[in-house]
Amino acid sequence: MKTRIIALAALAASSLAGVALAQDSTVTGAAGGAVTGAIVGGPIGAAVGGIVGAAAGTAIDPPPERVVTYVQQAPMPAETVVIQERVAVGQPLPQTVVLTPVPENPVYAYAVVNNQRVIVDPQTHVVVGVY
């Protein structure tokens, strides 16, 4: 019975991986959590493990090295933006912060905030890297 549950969990997770490429970390986390949970706690463990694994898998992936290098080598603007909020990975910047797109990879943008180079998801303004 446990083998069947493990196989079904793995099959379900692998079929979701092709559908949700943008959510690769979440799918991987859910699949790993479900299989581990099934081994340890049976069907209920699989359900709980899948939920915990999905939550852990939603951690923000760091930007590619080419994006980091580009942002680190970009000239510093004459003025930097100063905000009261703490700049941290996973936290959004205020919508008033003007972002500069990364030319070779428009999935990312950057700004200099509180004298730190910050790589941001331009759709959500969520910080994905601070340098």
Task: Provide the residue ranges of all domains of the chain, joining segments of one domain with +.
Answer: 2-57, 65-130
pTM equals 0.56
At 89, list the tokens. 């990975």
pLDDT, residue 12, reads: 45
> Helices (DSSP H) in the chain: which residue ranges?
2-19, 24-57, 65-73
pLDDT, residue 77, reads: 79
Distance CA 79, CA 86 (A): 19
Please give the radius of gyration of the chain, using alpha carbons only, rounded to the nearest integer. Answer: 19
pLDDT (tens, 9 = 90+) of the chain, 131 residues, equals 554 444 444 444 444 433 343 444 444 455 455 555 556 666 776 665 556 555 554 578 999 999 999 999 999 877 789 999 999 999 999 999 999 999 999 999 999 999 999 999 999 999 999 99
Structural contact between residues 18 and 28, judged by C-beta atoms closer than 8 angstroms: no
Distance CA 95, CA 104 (A): 23
pLDDT, residue 46, reads: 60
